[in-house]
Structure 1
Amino acid sequence: MTQDLVQSGLNRRRVLATGAAGLALAASPFRINILQAQEGPIKIGFPCPLTGPYGAEAQNQVMAAQLAVAEFNDAGGLNGRKAELLARDDKLNPGEAATRTLELIENDKVNFIVGSLSASVQLAINNITKERKVIFNSISQSDTINEISDFSRYTFHEAMNPHMTAGAVGRYAFGKFGKKVVYLTADYAYGYEMVRGFQRAGKDIGVETLADIRHPLGTTDFSTLLPRIQALKPDILCIINFGRDQQIAIKQATDFGVKRNTKIIVPILLYTARVAGGAQAFDGVIGGSSYYWGIEDKVASAKSFNDKFRKMHKGAVPTDYGAMGYGGVRTVLEAAKAAGTTETEKVVAAMEALKYDYYKGPEYYRACDHQAVQSVFILQSKSKDMKSPEDVFDIVATEEPNEATLRSCGELGHKA
C-alpha cells in the first residue's frame, strides 16, 4: 500500500516535471528558432564564382536560379512561405567557398545549398553541408562527389559528371575522326576526371593517347604548347578546360592552323565561350552539353523554360550552366513542396522520389549516389546558316538518360 502511494507520487511528479519542461521548451529561443525555420522564408544559399574566369557562367546560373525562385513564389510558395536566393561569390576558391557556405548555414540560416562551378570548390562546399546535415545540390561537374568518400545522403548532383560527359563525346567522336588523341588539359580535378572519362570511352576501340599536356587554370597564352601538339600529328585534339580558358585555347589553336589536319573536340562546349570567342574560331568544334536552348523545337519543357527566362531577362537565352542553376534550385523547392515541409530528412526522401522534366526532358536521381540521370547533347559549333545571334550550335547527337552510361554504384563504393 505504501509502495503504491510512493509510486503514485513519483508518477505525478514526473508528469508535472514533463509539463514544466514542455512549457519551458515552448517559451525557449530554441523552440522559436524551430518555428521560424518552418514558418519563415525558405532560404537557398547559392555560392558560385561571380568574379574570375568563370564569372560569365556563374552570372547566368544566378539569373536562372532567380527564375526558379520567382516561379515558386508566384505559384504560392510552400503553404504561403516564399523562397529567397542568397547568392555569394566563392571566387573559384575552395577555402572561400567553405567560408561562404558556413556563413550561409550558421548566420543566414539557409534551408538548402545549391551552387558551385568547380570540381574542387563543390567538394569543399559538400564537406561543410554534409557535416551539418544540410542538403547540397551541386550544379558543377565532378566524379568524386558521387563516390562514397565524399557522398552523403544530403548530397545531390544535378550536374552531369565527367564520366557521363566525356564518355558521350568520346563515343561520338572517336569513331568518326580518328584514334590518335592529344589532350590539352587544365591542371586540376576537372581536367583529370575528363581525361579519364575520354580514355575509358576509347579503351575498347583502341584509342591511343599521344600526350596529355597540362596547363594552369587561367592560362592566357598557349603558343608554347601548340607547336608541340602539331608535331605529334594527332587525329583529335581534345581541349579540356573551361570558361575563358576554353575560349582562348580554341581561338589560338585555330589561329595556329591546328584544324587543317586535326579535329578539335571538348568535353563541354560552352555557349558563353562560343559567343565570346566568335564563330570562326569555334567553327566545327564538337563537344557535349547538359543543355542548349535550341532543343526547344523538340522539348516542350525547354521551350517553356526559355520563354520564361527571356521574359525575365530582356530576351536573353539561358546557358548550359544557367539551366543547371534553374534545375538545381527548382528540384529542392519542388521536393519541399511535395514533402509539405523544409525538414531536411523529409525533403531528402522527396528528392529521391522525384521523376521530373523541368527544362530538358526526363530526369531522376539515382538511388545510390543521387546523380541526376539525364540526356547528354552533342553539339557542333557553326559559323553560317545561323537564324539568330544565339543560334551558334547544331545538335548532332543525343545520348538519352541511361544508368548504363554511369559508373556503377559498386565502382563508386556504394552498395548496389
Structure 2
Amino acid sequence: MTLGFDRRRLLTGGAAAAGLALAAPALLRHARAEGTGPIRIGFPVPLTGPFGAEANDQVRAAQIAVKEFNAAGGLGGRLAEILVRDDKLNPGEAATRTLELIEKDKVNVLVGGLSAAVTLSINNVARGRGVIYNSISQSDAITEAKDFGRTTFHEALSPHMTAGAVGRYVFPRHGKRVAFLTADYAYGHEMVRGFRRAGAAFGIEVVSDVRHPIGATDYSAFLPMIASLRPDVLCLCNFGRDQVVSVQQATEFGLKQSTKLVAPVLLLTARKAGGEAFEGVVGGTSYYWGLEETVPSARAFNDKFRAAYGGAVPSDYGALGYAGVRSVLEAAKLAGSVETDRLVPALEALRADFYKGPQYFRTCDHQSVQSVLIVESKFRNQRTPDDLFSIVHAEAPDEAGLRSCAELGHRQG
C-alpha cells in the first residue's frame, strides 16, 4: 500500500472525497503502525481508588516488559513506550481516556483494565476503532460473542477459570454448605457464578449470597446473618481494599472458628495490607512470586523486578501488566509489524512462557489458556517478609477449564 499522500488532498474533491474520507481512519492506522516513531501502548488502569495498589504494580511490571523490548533493539530499531492513564475505576472515565489514547495520542495497541465493568468499556471503544486491546482484568463477558471483537484479547484469567479452580480444590476438602459475600458488580457476580457451577459437581448447598457495594467499610450488618447459617465455606467475592476489610472483620467476628474463608482471587497486595487476619485464607491467583522455586521463567521475571524496584517482588496483578505488554510486543516481533491485520494472527499464533509456564490464546475467543494457582495465606513461619502464601495446588493450562466456544456464542473452536 502506498502511503505517500497528503491527507488534506485526499479529503477534497466531490464524490471521491466522500469515499476517501471513510477510508482515512484505516489509512492513518496503517501509517501509524508502519511508521518510524515509537510503538505506543495505551495503558488505562485505576491508579486512584480502592484498586490503586494493584494498578500501580501493573504499571511497574509493564515498564519492565518495555525496557526488555527496547534493550533488545525493539522492532527493527523502533522502540516502545507506555502511555499510562487513570481510568478512576469508572467506565465513563475509562471510555474517555481510551478514546483520547486512540484519537489524540495515536496509540498502536491498548493493554490494561482492572475492573470487569471498566474493561468492557475500554474494549467497546477499542473494538469500534479497530485497535487491539489486551485486557489484564478478570472478566467472563469480554470473551462472549456479544462483547468480543477480533481485536479483543484477554490476558487475565476469567472468573469462570479462577472460581472454578478454587471451588474444585475447596469444596471436597472443606464442606458443602457455602455462603457468599459478594461485591455487587460484574466481578463479584461472575465469581459467584463460577463457584456455583464448579460446586454443582460436589453437591454444594448455597445458604446465602449477600451483596455489598464497592468500597464498603463496615460488614457488621452482614456477618451475624452469615454466621447464623453455619456455612462450612464463606467465599469472599470481592477485591482490593474490599477484600482486606471483609477478611479483617470476618476474622474479628470469629467466623474462622467454624468456617473456611475463601477468596477466588487472593491478592498479594491485600495479604500485605491485611496481615494476620489472612492466616489460613485460601484462594486462587494467576501468579505468585514463589513459583520461582520450580519455574525458571518466574525466577527470571522476579529477578528483573527486584533489580528495578529495590528488591521488591511482583504481585499477581503486577505480573499481568508485564504479561499483557510482553505478549503484544513479542507478537509484533513475530509479525514484523504492529499493524492490526498482521498483529492479530501473530497473537493468535503466540506460544509463550514469559513468567509462569506455558500459555497461549485460544483462537475462538482470544482467552489466554494458562495455569491457575491455589494458594493459602500464612502469617507464621515466614522465611522472608514476602513469604506470604503456600502454593497448595496448581491446575495446569487446559481448555477444559474454560467455557466452550459454542457456549460463548462463537461458531468456531
CA deviations over 1:299-336 (Å, ceiling 9, x no partner): 00000000001101111110000000000000001111
2:172 corresponds to which residue?
175
Amino acid at match of 2:114: L
| Gap change, CA 1:213 and 1:100, over 3 Å in 2 | same
- One-letter code of the match for 1:68? A
CA distance in 2, matches of 1:216, 1:228: 17
Q: SS at 1:237's partner residue?
A: strand
Q: Which residue of 2 aligns with 1:335?
A: 331
**2:296 aligned with 1:300, yes or no?**
yes
Please tell me the residue identity of whatever aligns with 2:292: E
How far off its partner does 1:22 sit?
Answer: 8.8
The residue identity in structure 2 corresponding to 1:293 is W
**Cα distance 1:23–1:326, how it changes in 2: closer, same or farther (>3 A)?**
closer
1:400 and 2:410 aligned? no
Flag the 1:32–1:102 CA change in 2: closer, same or farther, 3 A: closer
Residue 33 of structure 1, CA deviation: 8.0
Correspondence 1:389 to 2:399:
no
Gaps (5+ residues) in structure 2?
A: 11-23
CA distance in 1 between counterparts of 2:52 and 2:4 reads 51
User: After the TM superposition, which residues 96-107 of structure 1 pair with which residues of structure 2 at under 5 Å, given as runs?
Assistant: 96-107=93-104
Matched, 1:159 2:128: no
Q: Which runs of 5+ in 1 are unaligned?
A: 1-20
Change (3 A) 1:173 1:28: same
Deviations, residues 325-366 of structure 1 (Å, cap 9, x unaligned): 000000001111111111111000100000000000000000
In the other structure, the counterpart of 2:359 is 363
Give 1:195-210 correspondences, 5 Å limit: 195-210=192-207
CA distance in 2, matches of 1:222, 1:76: 52
The SS at the match of 2:84 is strand
* Matched residue, 1:222: 219
Are residues 156 and 23 of structure 1, via their aligned partners in 2, closer, same or farther at CA, if it must alter by over 3 Å? Answer: closer
Counterpart in the other structure of 1:141: 138
Partner of residue 266, structure 1: 263
Q: Secondary structure at the residue paired with 2:385?
A: coil
Where 2:405 maps in the other structure, the secondary structure is: coil
CA distance in 1, matches of 2:355, 2:4: 48
RMSD of aligned Cα (Å): 1.6
Between stretches 94-103 and 308-317, larger displacement belongs to 308-317
Match of residue 10 from structure 1: none
Describe the SS at the equivalent of 1:53. coil
Equivalents in 1 of 2:158, 2:110: separation in Å?
Answer: 19
Aligned to 1:51: 48
* Cα distance in 2, alignment partners of residues 45 and 145 from structure 1: 18
Secondary structure of 2:127's counterpart equals helix
Q: Does 1:376 align with 2:372?
A: yes
AA aligned to 1:413 is G
Give the match for residue 69 of structure 1.
66
1:411 aligns to what SS in structure 2?
Answer: helix
Distance 1:123 1:209 in 2: 29
One-letter amino acid of the structure 1 residue matched with residue 242 of structure 2? D
Which amino acid is the alignment partner of residue 107 of structure 1? Answer: K
Q: Deviations over 1:155-212 (max 9, x none)?
A: 0000000000000000000000000000000000001100000000011221010000
Amino acid of the structure 2 residue aligned with 1:95: G
Q: CA–CA distance in 2 between the matches of 1:27 and 1:333?
A: 32
Q: Which residue of 1 aligns with 2:88?
A: 91
314-323 or 21-30, which moves further after superposition?
21-30
Please give the TM-score of this superposition, normalised by the length of structure 2: 0.93
Alignment partner, residue 213 of structure 1: 210
C-alpha distance in 2 between matches for 1:382 and 1:69: 34
| Separation of aligned partners in 2, 1:195 and 1:309 | 33
Counterpart residue number, 2:20: none
Indicate if the aligned counterparts of 2:33 and 2:337 stay in contact, CA closer than 8 A: no
Aligned residues: 395
The structure having more radius of gyration, on CA atoms, is: 1
Q: How far is the alpha carbon of 1:383 from its aligned partner?
A: 1.3
Tell me, in whole angstroms, the C-alpha distance in 2 between the residues paired with 1:207 and 1:224: 25
Q: CA deviation at 1:120?
A: 0.3
Cα offset for 1:241? Answer: 0.2
1:118 to 108, 115, 124: 115
- Going from structure 1 to structure 2, the CA distance change for 1:238 and 1:35 (only over 3 Å counts) comes to closer
